[in-house]
Amino acid sequence: MDGFINLLKPPGPTSFQAVGAIKRITGAKKAGHTGTLDPGAAGVLPVCLGKATKLSGMLTQAKKRYRAEITFGLITDTQDSYGKVLKRTKAQITKEEIEVLLKGFLGIGQQVPPMYSAVKQGGRKLYQLAREGLEVERSPRDIEIYSLDLVEFFPPDRAIIDIECSKGTYIRTLCHDIGTQAGCGAIMSFLVRLSSGEFTLDNAVTLEELADAAKAYSLTQLVLPLDYPLQGMAKAEIREDSLRFALNGNILYPHNLVSGLTELGNGQQLRLYYRQNLLGLAVYNRDGQSPWIKMKCILTGARTPDHFNKQV
């Protein structure tokens, strides 16, 4: 089974446990997610099955959108509501003050990963060190906040915010840092991931729905195709007499394609198809006046036109 499950992860299981559950339900030998979602968080968790795992590294780069509840006046060791309370103060903050604070976090910035995270340091995950009562120096990482909006304020100390951000952004830490700027501390008291790249809540499915579909032998209806998250990427269609040539890793020129190559930037990736079947990803190059492409990631096990022609 090759493709994607757009999982609606419930609060509770880790992302690793959610992937394990999907493997058991689908029988997939290879599966992985495209970006960790905290155990206490809910929302979109794209899961790659089979050959789709070859795309997981690229999909982790996708923008993420979240809706979070931030509670002011609290500081915990995990920066969320599941941790040990380190400090509690009376929050005195207004809607206008929150809106000003949020604007200060927009754009490119740096963020220090929390101790309770899966980031590795010295060969060990930070949360393993944190559970032993250790705290180590962490290097800040570059992140970008594309949008940060106040959805609703519940006086005196709770607010709902929407965030669109780059990969590697910890929303727990963002809430903590907002609280630090506010002078009273803050935690993330709830989080739901609204989208990850092309995957949104609109067509996300639960583990229960997957299990029911497996019992009804209709799992394939819930598996999204390999090119689902690639719709914004340029594409090209290959000629039949060049199929084997392409899949053997040879360079392809415009005459090898059904249509000429669209002008792309050097090194840009594009989708390559044969008879509307996705073969994989190729890289565009231009030497002088001659554009060419070469396969970078093969997503099909077929090697001859006969395999595809039988499907038509």
| Closest to 69 measured CA to CA, from 188, 195, 174 | 188
**Backbone phi and psi for residue 263, each to the nearest 5 degrees, phi listed first:** -65, 120
Q: Is 38 a residue of the active site?
A: yes
Tokens representing 307? 């395999």
Annotated catalytic residue: which of 2, 38, 80, 157?
38
Which residues neighbour 47 within 8 Å (Cβ) at sequence distance 6 or greater? 4, 5, 6, 7, 18, 19, 22, 31, 32, 33, 34
The rounded distance, in Å, linking the Cα atoms of 130 and 9 is: 25
| Closest to 191 measured CA to CA, from 9, 40, 36, 33 | 40
CA 6, distance to chain mean position in Å, is 11
- Whether 182 and 72 have beta carbons less than 8 Å apart is answered as yes
Active site residues: 38
